[in-house]
Structure 1
Amino acid sequence: MSRIPYERALIIGAGTGISAALTRQLRAAGLAVALAARDTEKLAGLVQETGARAFSADAADPASVEALFRKVDEAIGAPDVVIYNASGRVRGPLAQLDPASVRQSLEVTAFGGFLAVREAAKRMEPQGQGAILITGASASIKGFAQSAPFAMGKFALRGLAQSAARELGPKGIHVAHINIDGGVRSAARPEPAGAPDSMLDPEAIAETYLDLLRQKRSAWSFEVELRPWVETF
């Protein structure tokens, strides 16, 4: 297995699922890892377990994101891997959705992604190297009923990823969009009894992210879709 050619990773929107699995595997691969979340208390166990560094940040606020990157620069060095996992989700009938809540959802999911990619590009372009991995969902390509805000945000995030890949790829920066097309297994959301491997395993998801980081630039993937073997297309 080839070595990951990066040294420092920042995960924005860190939590106890996919981000935790990523943190463990990135640390095992020898990378320093910084985690960003609104509430860093929920990351205390993961920080203690892995030695990652946690930072409080509002992914949708430009000043907060700029400050986050500066703090990470000082703590572990400029990240050459940035993973954007943050998203906002508001559900309900269109006629009953609260506009302010919808705006906040879009700001976290899409505008926050832009802010993260912007700061990452500032640091990676001068080096001619880096990787930006953007976490999508089924809603990135399918707008489900009563889930318009999430679909709007994820569609926009996918568009950002495409544009960034076309602009930054020729500069040596690998941009990839990962479509998590299915339910993710967790303690709060276990698999149905009698249906093994019917939900996405966070550790298996993380393995794919690391595989992307190992890719040589002659054969970079832009979009990867992950779904359980029983999931319908």
Structure 2
Amino acid sequence: MRNVSSSNSSRGIAAIVGVGPNLGRSIARKFAHEGYTVAILARDLGRLSRFADEIAREEKAQVFAIRIDCSETQSYGGPFNFSDIRLDSFQKSLAVASIGAFHCAQQVLPGMVERGKGTILFTGCAASLSGVAGFSELCCGKFALRGLSQCLAKEFHQLGVHIAHVIIDGVIGASRASQRLLAREQHCSVGGDGAMDPDSVAQTYWYLHIQPRAAWTQEIDVGSSSFRLV
């Protein structure tokens, strides 16, 4: 982290927590393209390092891979009968969705307040808005994350920190560029499975970051209605 903090980027530092092969990687690539030093964080350091090398090479940018455990899991699975859910499993789900975000926000907010600027973007889903039968673990955690985002947005707005909640209402697929590369390798056409292009969704995160303070958005819904959980 000291290496990241000592970066001489003129734009600043963008940290993306919980980076996977689709949306997280696309957001990291977008901010690197715009001149930011990028730190990508997740548990799998080997995979992160490959992403960092790829983005740094493509965008001629500084990209750091940092291992971090915010109690994130690969998938929620489900649906589950409520009576079968164990307390430790429910607590783990809350940690996955909200406690990790709480810890990360506490780490970066003091510096943002000191500088009088900064952006924190939380990622939710359709379960952030409405309960879904069989998914009480997921929904309760996502409700908590949305509440955290709303509270922080009101608390830190006057201090110059933009905090917003992004609702991903749909399925994020591989980027169109990755699909085209795979199609060429397999001599087939790009599939139209209805999944959202992560590079396009990443544009929304960039849009929120560069919004003028007088018109900050605190929540935005991005997605395909054909994939709604409600």
Q: Which residue of 1 aligns with 2:110?
A: 122
Aligned-partner Cα distance in 1 for 2:73–2:14: 15
Matched, 1:89 2:76: yes
Q: Which residue of 1 aligns with 2:68?
A: 57
Amino acid at match of 1:173: V
Q: Label 1:169 to 1:228 Cα distance change in 2 as closer, same or farther (>3 A).
A: same
Q: Which residue of 2 aligns with 1:221?
A: 217
Q: Indicate the larger mover: 129-138 or 96-105.
A: 96-105
Q: Which residue of 2 aligns with 1:80?
A: none
Matched, 1:172 2:168: no
Q: Contact 1:14 / 1:35 at 8 angstroms: preserved in 2?
A: yes
Specify every segment of 5 or more residues in structure 1 that has no aligned partner in the other structure, as ranges: 61-84
Q: Label 1:132 to 1:212 Cα distance change in 2 as closer, same or farther (>3 A).
A: same
Matched, 1:161 2:172: no
What percent of counterpart residues are identical? 31
Q: Which of these two proteins has the greater Rg computed from alpha carbons? A: 2
Q: Which residue of 1 aligns with 2:199?
A: 203
Shift of 1:130: 0.3
Aligned-partner Cα distance in 1 for 2:36–2:30: 9
Aligned-partner Cα distance in 2 for 1:162–1:6: 27
Amino acid at match of 1:55: I
Give the aligned length. 201
Q: Contact 1:90 / 1:101 at 8 angstroms: preserved in 2?
A: no
Shift of 1:199: 2.1
Amino acid at match of 2:147: G
Q: Label 1:47 to 1:57 Cα distance change in 2 as closer, same or farther (>3 A).
A: same
Aligned-partner Cα distance in 1 for 2:118–2:208: 12
Aligned-partner Cα distance in 2 for 1:156–1:130: 22
Shift of 1:90: 5.2
Shift of 1:17: 1.2
Q: Contact 1:135 / 1:179 at 8 angstroms: preserved in 2?
A: yes
Which of 7, 13, 26 is equivalent to 2:31?
26
Q: Which residue of 2 aligns with 1:68?
A: none
Q: Which residue of 2 aligns with 1:10?
A: 15
Aligned-partner Cα distance in 2 for 1:46–1:197: 25
Q: Which portions of structure 1, spanning 4 or more consecutive aligned residues, are displaced by more than 4 angstroms?
A: 85-88, 229-233
Aligned-partner Cα distance in 2 for 1:128–1:28: 24
SS at match of 2:96: helix
Q: Label 1:186 to 1:195 Cα distance change in 2 as closer, same or farther (>3 A).
A: closer
RMSD: 2.5
Q: Which residue of 2 aligns with 1:41?
A: 46
Q: TM-score, normalised by structure 1?
A: 0.79
Q: Label 1:207 to 1:15 Cα distance change in 2 as closer, same or farther (>3 A).
A: same
Shift of 1:198: 2.3
Q: Indicate the larger mover: 160-169 or 41-50.
A: 41-50
Q: Deviations over 1:198-232 (max 9, x none)?
A: 22211111000001111110111111100126556
